[in-house]
Structure 1
């Protein structure tokens, strides 16, 4: 857990995260994922054109044979899932959540299990795909829980601001 949260008891005393900061953190994370996709795309095209006997035609700007198939798309999905699963499991935060001072843990304030992270990653896109209804569901609840919070038995809390060191 981050330095500001030293125990599950402290986590449970933090305020619930609102819907807007969660959506803003998701926008930050989308930028990070886009960068990861670019890196993955570079390596996928390099491997596919070198070892896959695919004939990319850069002079015609046709990279479809190299990076347009279902295997490539599965790789994009895996890269995205790995980013979120690893971030939630190891740190309790993605980069976007860190920027907005958000943290996720189970309802006891303990780090999420891999299973909880997987459920969260599977239900999260559904929450978003329903025109964000899964996220806006938090406005109807006192604990601000979204569909993926409820499905994964987790909570997102707002971390306090760091205190600035006083200059002498």
Structure 2
């Protein structure tokens, strides 16, 4: 858990996170994931052309044989899942969630299990793919839970603002 929340009891007293901050933090995370995909693509292209014996043709601007196959796409999936799993398990927050002071934990205020991370990762894209309906579902619930919160038995809470220290 983060330094802000020291115990599960404290976590349970925090207000539930609203839909809009959650969606905005998702946009932040999409930018981070896009950057990770670029780095992965660079290394995949480097490995494919150096060790794979693939003949990419830059003069035709066709890199499809190098980075367009199912193995490459599976790697993108692992990079994306790795980012979210590592963030949720390590601190209960992705970079976007940190910016908007959000934290995810199970309903007892304890960090997510690997199983819960998998469920969130599987149901989360469905929440977005249905035109965001999975997120907007939270408007009709007192706990603001989205589809992936309900499926993974987790909740997202809004952390308090840090108090600024007075300078002399």
TM-score range, shorter chain: over 0.9
**Which position in structure 1 is the counterpart of 2:82?**
82
Q: Which residue of 2 aligns with 1:131?
A: 131
Q: How far off its partner does 1:53 sit?
A: 1.1
1: CA distance between counterparts of 2:89 and 2:117?
A: 7
Deviation at 1:43, TM superposition (A): 0.3
Deviations 1:2-25 (A, max 9, x none): 221111011000000000000000
In structure 2, runs of 5+ residues without a counterpart are none
Partner of 2:102: 102
Q: Deviations over 1:32-60 (max 9, x none)?
A: 00000000000000000111111011122
* Partner residue, 1:19: 19
User: TM-score normalized by structure 1?
Assistant: 0.99
What corresponds to 1:118 in structure 2?
118
Q: Secondary structure at the residue paired with 1:93?
A: coil
Q: Residue 120 of structure 1: CA displacement?
A: 0.5
The two structures, once aligned, show a CA RMSD in angstroms of: 0.6
Aligned to 2:39: 39
Deviating runs (4+, > 6 A) in structure 1?
Answer: none
The CA distance in 2 between the partners of 1:51 and 1:38, in whole Å, is 20
What count of residue pairs does the alignment treat as equivalent?
Answer: 168
Name which of structure 1's ranges 52-61 and 93-102 shifts more when overlaid on structure 2.
52-61
Cα distance between partner residues in 1 of 2:42 and 2:18: 37
Distance 2:4 2:113 in 1: 21
Gaps of 5+ in 1: none
Distance (Å, rounded) in 2 between the aligned partners of 1:72 and 1:3: 37
